[in-house]
Amino acid sequence: MRTPLAIFLALALCGAAWAADYSVRFDHGVVTLGDSAGTVARKAGKPDRTVQLENAFGGANGERWEYHLPEKQVNIVLRDGKVVDIEEVR
């Protein structure tokens, strides 16, 4: 009986972690994949740090906007002006 319960709990936790990578809540709204850079700036404000991303040949490949919040750090990756990845680091 313990094994099915353990599997259920593990899957539930994986689902919660999976969902957290596609949206993040800020004071002025929720940022999700596909949002424009302007929408992110309006909802999340000015980033604490901006990092230029490069491909293997040194060419520009996007930007990572970092937000340092009291409980966590949120990294938002933008390519072609759209959000392509959201990462929360606790």
Total domains in the chain come to 1
**What is the predicted pLDDT for the residue at 82?**
98
pLDDT value of position 20? 47
45-84 per-position pLDDT tens digit: 999 999 999 999 999 999 999 999 999 999 999 999 999 9
CATH number of the domain where residue 53 is located: 3.30.1450
Q: Which domain holds residue 23?
A: 2-89
C-beta of residue 23 within 8 angstroms of C-beta of residue 32? yes
CA dist., res. 73 & res. 89, Å (int): 5
